């Protein structure tokens, strides 16, 4: 069974009725928690309590699997007594001492230790460097930002910088927009049959080749963010992967520059020649490096750590994300001081061993809250179900909005409403599973034009079905939904 962190641990902590039904499946289970370091820090103590419940009450085995083990189990006062499954992990790091997959470069904008750093880089300054390095060194470059806004600003600045150099740019989001308009039926068919559209990546790659055949292109760009619909993200990722791996003479020599949020740091098998990462907790920096020279395609990959500003945020994007619920940037600066040379270079072996160890030492030392003074643990011990049900692993106040961009998607929505009105539950679930790949996430502070949803539904034969289930945006003939920049649904003017 596959599930998410929130489904697993929230169901254990304070389950609602529907969640409780799933719990017997955990009896005698082997539960693999992949990348546990991304669990919110404020949940770490409660998670150790829940792991104790799983092992004691459900006789389950829990495996925490990651290269940057957060050690919150070791720091817990709960007597879990975990076992290290790898008897001699050092032997696996020794390979990196003589086979340097990547090297880290620490930009002067990044604070190392307590020394003052230089000013963060504005998007236009960072974009100039990205375009210059990508054009000079060739190959593929990935730039990871900390927020959707920061990623889209950086992507827009990249395009402006390229045009200022009189470079012709091919944006993969634009290619995908046209592909969706002309292949809507095929996309919907794959979403309905298998829930996957990745098999269409080869056809998308043909579209790229067709465009390259009729115009000169100097740079291929793309923007990946969580604001895009899941189906669009999947297609873009597969298209980028095809471009990076192809030996087609039409594309193999063209530089590729991708701007993204941290969604690429886990579960995405992409490999770039160089990676730029906005300042973040050290485990995220290590994860980002995993997108560089993954299979030793080159002699050595290059990972640049820098700190970005954003004209749209009062705070720096790194501060906006990584100082909520506890400061995770200061431990990163302390860890970098431990491993960084005078030239601000860090070997990968030092980053993934001494750097990670120092980061968690400082992080745990700076947390003076007692385990049983933790408000979530206290609620758990006191069986305060209402409090626990209100708690969430996902600090996300966004709204999911159905975005319809093609006639084929419109037809699925029409069919779903008809099936629901007729009480055809099984058929309605099939249609809904297709639609779920077409929802875009919208922050609550963005005013999206969805007020007309009731009218939209009535206009396509909703048979009186209420819009309370979800909001709908008709983006078939409008610019409300933007794939090119990765910004997703635009703010209404």
Instruction: State the DSSP string of 412-469.
Output: HHHHHHHHHHHT-HHHHHHHHHHHGGGEEEE-TTS--S-TTHHHHHHHTT-TT--GGG
Q: 73 and 96, same structural domain?
A: no
Q: 326 and 264, same structural domain?
A: yes
Contact 475/403 with Cβ under 8 angstroms?
Answer: yes
pTM above 0.95, yes or no: no
pLDDT at position 459: 63
Question: Taking residues 480-489, what's their average pLDDT?
Answer: 89
Question: What is the domain count for the chain?
Answer: 3
Q: 197 and 175, same structural domain?
A: yes
pLDDT at position 1: 65
Q: 55 and 128, same structural domain?
A: no
Residue 159 in any domain: the answer is yes
Given 319, 342, 365, the domain boundary residue is 365
Residue 388 in any domain: the answer is no
Q: 105 and 82, same structural domain?
A: no
What residue numbers bound the domain in which 287 lies? Answer: 92-365
pLDDT at position 161: 97
User: Higher pLDDT residue, 374 or 329?
Assistant: 329
pLDDT at position 456: 64
pLDDT digits (tens, 9 = 90+) for 95-118: 888 888 999 999 999 999 987 789
User: Higher pLDDT residue, 414 or 221?
Assistant: 221
Mean of pLDDT over the chain: 86
Residue 422 in any domain: the answer is yes
pLDDT of 300 > 60? The answer is yes
pLDDT at position 397: 66
Residue 278 in any domain: the answer is yes
pLDDT of 206 > 50? The answer is yes
Percent helix, strand, coil in the chain (nearest 5)? 50, 15, 40
User: Higher pLDDT residue, 248 or 180?
Assistant: 180
CATH at residue 117: 3.40.50.300
* Span of 53-67, 324-338, 358-372 with lowest mean pLDDT: 358-372
Residue 428 in any domain: the answer is yes
pLDDT digits (tens, 9 = 90+) for 425-470: 888 899 999 999 999 887 765 545 455 566 666 666 545 444 567 8
Residue 376 in any domain: the answer is no
Residue 382 in any domain: the answer is no
Residue 96 in any domain: the answer is yes
């Amino acid at each position: 069974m596959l599930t998410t962190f929130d489904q697993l641990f929230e169901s254990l902590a304070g389950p609602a009725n529907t969640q409780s039904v799933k719990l017997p499946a955990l009896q005698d289970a082997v539960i693999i928690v992949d990348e546990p370091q991304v669990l919110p820090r404020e949940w770490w103590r409660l998670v150790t309590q829940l792991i104790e419940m799983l092992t004691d009450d459900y006789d389950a085995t829990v495996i925490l699997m990651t290269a940057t083990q957060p050690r919150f189990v070791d720091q817990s006062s709960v007597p879990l007594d975990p076992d290290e499954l790898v008897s001699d992990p050092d032997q696996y790091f020794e390979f990196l001492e003589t086979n340097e997959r990547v090297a880290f470069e620490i930009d002067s904008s990044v604070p190392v230790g307590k020394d003052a750093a230089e000013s963060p880089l504005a998007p236009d300054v960072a974009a100039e460097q990205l375009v210059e390095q990508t054009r000079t060194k060739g190959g593929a470059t990935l730039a990871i930002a900390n927020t959707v806004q920061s990623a889209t600003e950086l992507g827009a600045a990249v395009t402006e910088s390229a045009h200022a150099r009189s470079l012709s740019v091919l944006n993969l989001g634009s290619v995908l927009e046209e592909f969706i308009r002309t292949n809507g039926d095929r996309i919907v068919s794959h979403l309905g049959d298998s829930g996957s559209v990745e098999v269409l990546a080869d056809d998308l790659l043909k579209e790229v080749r067709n465009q390259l055949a009729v115009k000169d292109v100097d740079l291929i760009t793309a923007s990946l963010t969580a604001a895009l619909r899941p189906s669009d993200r999947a297609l873009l990722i597969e298209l980028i992967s095809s471009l990076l791996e192809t030996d087609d003479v039409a594309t193999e020599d063209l530089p590729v520059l991708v701007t993204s949020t941290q969604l690429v740091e886990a579960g995405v098998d992409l490999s770039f020649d160089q990676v730029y990462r906005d300042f973040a907790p050290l485990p995220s920096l290590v994860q980002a490096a995993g997108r560089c020279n993954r299979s030793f395609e080159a002699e050595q990959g290059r990972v640049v750590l820098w700190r970005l500003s954003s004209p749209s945020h009062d705070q720096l994007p790194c501060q906006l994300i990584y100082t909520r619920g506890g400061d995770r940037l200061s431990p990163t600066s302390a860890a970098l001081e431990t491993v960084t040379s005078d030239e601000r270079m860090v070997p990968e072996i030092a980053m993934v061993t001494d750097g990670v160890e120092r980061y968690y030492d400082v992080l745990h030392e700076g947390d003076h809250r007692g385990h049983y003074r933790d408000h979530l643990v206290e609620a758990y011990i006191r069986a305060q179900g209402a409090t626990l049900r209100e708690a969430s692993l996902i600090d996300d106040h966004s709204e999911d909005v159905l975005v319809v961009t093609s006639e084929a998607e419109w037809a699925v929505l029409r069919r779903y409403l008809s099936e629901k009105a007729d009480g055809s539950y099984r058929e309605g679930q099939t249609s809904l599973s297709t639609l779920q790949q077409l929802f875009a996430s919208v922050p609550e502070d963005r005013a999206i034009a969805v007020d007309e949803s009731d009218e939209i539904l009535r206009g396509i034969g909703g048979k009186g079905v209420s819009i309370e289930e979800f909001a709908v945006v008709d983006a078939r003939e409008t610019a409300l939904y933007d794939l090119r920049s990765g910004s997703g649904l635009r703010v209404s003017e």
